[in-house]
Structure 1
């Protein structure tokens, strides 16, 4: 009996297999099964059962579909035509189905609607869909379909609605696809990987209402002129986030039914068409993140129905439109990241529907209109990065705002007290980088929802109010460089939600409160450049999430709490220039044992082999203070038994002996030092004398002409400065000697003097160079004082009104650019050890420019061609700070420099903001790391697409495949070093400048990476 049951089970499973089922159903439909009491399956049942057999249905939604039924009209998700009983609609949206779309559906010859969206279907789109000749709606969106769009879709002449968006479709679109598209009303191919030229035949779809081709890789000019003339019924045109280029021609007004025009995230250029204002129904207009230029057309004020308007991150100029209030329906306005000038009109207060306003990073001047407070619907105001002046209108603090950003302007006066509406709504307040005074109002403690507060870089001249600890939701508190006095409130961390606390560069005094340990969420604590005293509180060791600790340049004393060595997430520490002593915290994951000298120097007695000073410990005082007691075998009793006179005599004798030894030793050290310095000076003079002699000899032959004014050669390390005639430089400044060049000038290799010493001479561009010799001398000498083992030293300069030269050391191994991208096949590729050395050395050089020189020197142009290599492959940064020699950073120079450093431009600079700082160099350094590790250029152009290296690596990292981008020519490499270095690079290339670390922190992190600690790698 048991055997029989198992046999029945086996046979039933055989009958349920898809292959047998398909064969059985096929036989049935052909009528081969001729039993009198059985009915043949119709085409609809057959097609749907075959389709179901290839689909995995985890929630049994298709359980009602049975091959025993003669008709599928009673099945779930199926609709039939009542006239003929054939299936007219299959809607399986969002059922969690997976598997491949097999055959079967082509049997449904009366099918009008097929919708399979929001599932997990894979494989390619079957070309046999074209066999369903009457299909009107096809929705396969939000699946995982791949491959090309089959050209046979062109045969579906009755199709009206086609949605293939949010899949993984790829390849170009055939021009034949839209040959018979007269019925097409809706097409959406967004969110795929489609590439190549935009399909021009789409303009034949004259009845099209909605077109969405966004978030693909289409490139080239989409031929707008023909599209505008043909698609007159179009209501939505979305080509956003592609790689399209070209200009928008006049004629857009032909699309008079247009409601949404979305072209953001492309490379469109030229001016905005003047007739765009004659699209009366336009409600959404987004041209952001393109290259549009010129002023805003006056016709835009006619768009009375417009409620979303974004032109951000273009190159638009001219005055801010005074007619902006004419756009009475506007709810969202974003003109940020352009070059708009002028003042804001008082009429802006008439925009009652406006909810979001972003005009940041332009050149706006004048006061903030007080009428802006009349915009009752406003919830976000962003005016940062302009030149607005005057005081903050008090009315803004009476509004129900969620975000107020007035940072990096020239505002004065005090912070308004605020109202109950603002107390209950404000989440982000940024007033940093202004000239505000008057202290922090006590009412600020009433902002119950405030998450981000940045008041840094102002002149409040007040104490930190105790109310600062009242914020229950505050995660970021930045009060750097705000002229704050007094002590740090004990309850500053009562909320426990603060993640970033920055109080640097104030005049804070007193101890760090022990209650700092209550900041349980803190990962950045920065209290540097104050006058804090007392010890580092042991409670800091309770901050388990802490990653960065900056306490440098204070007056902290005592020993460092040893429990700090247990902070496993700590990545960067700086405790330099305090009064700390004793041992560094130890532990299995302690960062303190791997700190760089720059993070420890300037203390009284920290015990570290990196420091030259004494190692002082807080140890108990000895009971016996007399030196005689340690030298006498009688032990401690000798102090009482010996006569006082003989004891005193012994002490005096011992003191004289020690003093004599010290004096003799010191004299010997000084004498040796004098001799060494003398020899160094003699050697330096001999090495530099060749420059004087060679340049003087080259000048002597050309003094006869007298047609060119004589210049002065200034050598920083030499007393002689001979006159020099610029015309004599033809022997050096010739094409054959040229070894490089850039925006700031051309570089020549020269062999000068009898010793054959090779130097590099940079001939600077004369445009916009400082025109007075004394100003030029001052700036160049500042650069000449920047000496570091990872910097190319500037040895001197030559100046005439017509010619300016800089003399520096020559790097024999050339540039990093040549080693990475111009390596001949016979040359060995750079190993990981060499690449890491270059990364770390470059970081140290930039850190020296940023942190060891006041004011800091910003490089402005970090890229591989400016990283030179000496004979030991040590990196030497060149061209640092040359922008200081420019009278102004005008648009031409900025634009040219960006083109020469493609891919290295920080986003804030690409937005045309000239407020550059050290974080711009950090961004360039991050891209440099990626280029070194991957061996690829920061921007690479394919035939149909553009690869942005940082985006490429970030995607691979999110997918867990970051090591797939490592340069394969590098050979073997330690993954536990390469992986965190890539993560550090992505942190450095953060789009938000404040999220990037400083170069000093980068150096510390790299040194930690060199000593691999897995638990730290996860903290990046």
Structure 2
């Protein structure tokens, strides 16, 4: 009887344990997320609903799961003001597909354990303070499609193992402190300089910068196959002495030859410098001196050649007009091409103010902003030198291409919206002082060969030192894109840029200009016209008829973002970093690889 009672008691205890709250406790992925949370300083208490008393983490902020097994599929926590570091526990989330921790204040290293997330497809860690090198183990993430590690403090060489990421479609390592030669292997050889810009010590074919030693010779030197092949095993003492004497004689001769070479080189350098000075001096007009300033140190041409090309620009080189004046195409002797903007004299300010603004603009580098290379003051004009963006503007693609030319497909339009949002958000939130563009429109979104967008024309941009600083009381910009309060007060803020960006989104969806005659005749702008169609449930009349691949879900998501951007009350509009976050969440989540599936950016 006592044995039976003890067995019954043991069974009761076992059942009690199995049915206790602890048995219904958090999943293993949930426990891992709490470990990751413990390494973060959540000053805004954004993760307050991450509780160990929950059964599943799938309803937690920023977390999404697979519906069948409750495993964590994505962590989406940008713009949360987190400090701290990325816990190595991240490697326990073996089913993770998307990790987005960008625009926080994380420091420390990228953990090697991230390579254990073998299903990872998208990795967003940009705009933090991450240090150390890029883990070579990331090269084992065979499903990785997007990797953005830009705007951190990463150092060291780029691992050649990244070349094995055959599915990688988007790589951004810009604005770090990476150094050495970019491996020209595998998929790494397919990315251009925009993936690596802002790393001054990088060299290689991708950035069009040869890797050389301090003496100017190629960095790869010949070497023996092995020590045994280089030195025989047994030699006599006389033979060794002879070899030493011969080697010393050879070294002495080489040293003398080198000194002679250096002496000749110094003399020729002085002659070249004198000749160059004479050539530049000839180009200085008597009325005033010519002044040339280059930014970033990446305009690899003699000043005399640049000034000569600038002075020879004429009507045949005109490619358009911008906010401040005429735009020219300047082709150098080696076929390097730049865009040059001649500033209208009627719009000039004082030289000191003008050059002060240019110093700030010249310090800005971002993959989605047109790069300002330099400034030249000639006797008759002021000129800005930009990178030349070959494919023209978004306005050309949407409105100027004829029927025989293929229109932009929907995925291409989404990529353009996302890239443009990144550029404007950088101006608003990452520049100091902050910059308000004031003329966001489709003709100021330039597209390169890969249809990557670059926000251009900072001729109208003004600098905000603080929130109370007003830009100007003179309205500038393009009718149709201007916010109502800007038209009334003439005061431009970040929220007036957000309104213009919302109109740009509507332009991408509808394929119509903001001042299209079909609704201007009815007394409406594009915002009012769209609201009318939506109230009448005429969604089919909203989307550009030429874009046949648009899906209803993402169209509705973009229209919702555009509606928030064009809210009549500026206080109710999101900031540009919030707009960017919404686009990334709604448009690219949960499977960003689908975003890059198309083999063509045209229908």
Interval of TM-score (by shorter of Structure 1 and Structure 2)? 0.5 to 0.7
2:554 aligns with 977
Cα gap change, 1:541/1:870 in structure 2, threshold over 3 Å: closer, same or farther? Answer: same
For the 8 Å contact 2:509–2:543, the answer to whether it is kept is yes
Kept in 1: contact 2:156–2:178 (CA 8 A): no
Structure 1 residue 836, shift from structure 2 partner? 0.7
| Residue of structure 1 aligned with 2:507, choices 895, 906, 931 | 931
User: In the alignment, does 2:245 pair up with 1:741?
Assistant: no
Task: Check whether the contact 1:585–1:593 (CA below 8 A) recurs between aligned residues.
Answer: no
Which residue of structure 1 aligns with residue 106 of structure 2? 602
Pick closer, same or farther for the CA change 1:535–1:757 going to 2, 3 Å. closer
Distance 1:534 1:852 in 2: 20
Q: For residue 421 of structure 2, what is the aligned residue in structure 1?
A: 843
| Residue matched to 2:330 | 750
Distance in structure 2 (CA, Å) of the matches to 1:832 and 1:921: 24
Matched, 1:563 2:60: yes
Deviations 1:267-295 (A, max 9, x none): xxxxxxxxxxxxxxxxxxxxxxxxxxxxx
Distance 1:744 1:567 in 2: 48
* Aligned match of 1:711: 290
Q: How does 1:393-412 map onto structure 2 within 5 Å?
A: none
- The equivalent residue for 2:371 is 793
| 1:591-634 CA-partner distances (Å, limit 9, x unpaired) | x97564523452457877444679xxxxxxxxxxxxxxxxxxxx
CA change 1:1000–1:537 in 2 (3 A) is: closer
Q: Match for residue 722 of structure 1?
A: 303
Which secondary structure state, in structure 2, belongs to the residue aligned with residue 871 of structure 1? coil
Describe how 1:948-987 pairs up with structure 2 within 5 A: 948-987=525-564
Matches within 5 A, 1:575-974: 575-579=80-84, 581-582=86-87, 596-600=100-104, 602-603=106-107, 609-611=123-125, 673-674=179-180, 677=201, 679=203, 683=208, 703=282, 706-716=285-295, 717=297, 718=299, 722=303, 729=310, 731-732=312-313, 734-753=314-333, 755-772=334-351, 774-800=352-378, 802-880=380-458, 882-884=460-462, 894-895=474-475, 897-898=476-477, 901-914=478-491, 916-941=492-517, 944-974=521-551
**Structure 1 residue 703 displacement after superposition:** 3.9
- Matching of residues 199-214 of structure 1 within 5 Å: none
CA contact (8 A) 1:764 1:805 kept: yes
User: Relative to structure 1, is the Cα distance of residues 995 and 769 closer, same or farther in structure 2, using a 3 angstrom cutoff?
Assistant: same
CA distance 1:918–1:937, change in 2 (3 Å): same
Structure ranking higher in strand proportion: 1
Question: Which aligned pairs between 1:494-505 and structure 2 lie closer than 5 A?
Answer: none
C-alpha contact (below 8 Å) 1:537/1:561 kept by paired residues: no
- Residue 123 of structure 1 is matched in structure 2 by none
Q: Cα offset for 1:1004?
A: 1.5
1:921 CA displacement: 1.1
Q: State the partner residue of 2:171.
A: none
**Count of paired positions:** 394
Q: Are 1:573 and 1:599, in contact at CA under 8 Å, matched by a contact in 2?
A: yes
Gaps of 5+ in 2: 1-39, 52-56, 66-74, 115-122, 133-154, 160-176, 183-200, 212-271, 465-469, 592-603
Q: Which runs of 5 or more structure 1 residues have no equivalent in the other structure?
A: 1-530, 543-559, 615-664, 687-692, 1015-1020
| Matched-pair contact (CA < 8 Å) for 1:709–1:725 | no
- Residues 40-59 of structure 1: pairs in structure 2 closer than 5 A: none
CA distance 1:605–1:985, shift in 2 (3 Å):
same
**Counterpart Cα distance in 1 of 2:484 and 2:279:** 51
Higher relative contact order (CA 8 A, sep 6+): 2
> CA shift at 1:974, angstroms?
1.5
How many Å separate the matches in 2 of 1:771 and 1:858?
Answer: 21
Q: 1:366-424 CA distances to partner (integer Å, 9 max, x unpaired)?
A: xxxxxxxxxxxxxxxxxxxxxxxxxxxxxxxxxxxxxxxxxxxxxxxxxxxxxxxxxxx
Distance 2:284 2:81 in 1: 59
Pairs within 5 Å for 1:404-483: none
- Check whether the contact 1:783–1:881 (CA below 8 A) recurs between aligned residues: no
Q: Render the CA deviation track for 1:645-688: whole Å, top value 9, x for unaligned.
A: xxxxxxxxxxxxxxxxxxxx98999x9934662646995599xx
Structure 2 residue 496 is the aligned partner of structure 1 residue 999? no
User: How far is 1:788 from its partner?
Assistant: 1.1
Contact 2:389 2:447 in 1 (8 A): yes
Return closer, same or farther for 1:885/1:685 CA change in 2, 3 Å cut-off.
farther
> What is the CA–CA distance in structure 1 between the aligned matches of 2:377 and 2:398, rounded to whole Å?
35
RMSD: 4.6
TM-aligned CA distance change 1:832 to 1:944, over 3 Å = closer
Secondary structure in 2 matching 1:740: strand
Is the 1:962–1:979 Cα contact (8 Å) retained in structure 2? no
Change (3 A) 1:848 1:933: same
Between Structure 1 and Structure 2, the one with more helix by share is: 2
Question: How far is 1:832 from its partner?
Answer: 0.4
Give TM-score, length-normalised by structure 2. 0.56
Partner SS state of residue 759, structure 1: strand
In the alignment, the residues of structure 1 paired with residue 396 and residue 79 of structure 2 have an alpha-carbon distance, to the nearest angstrom, of 36
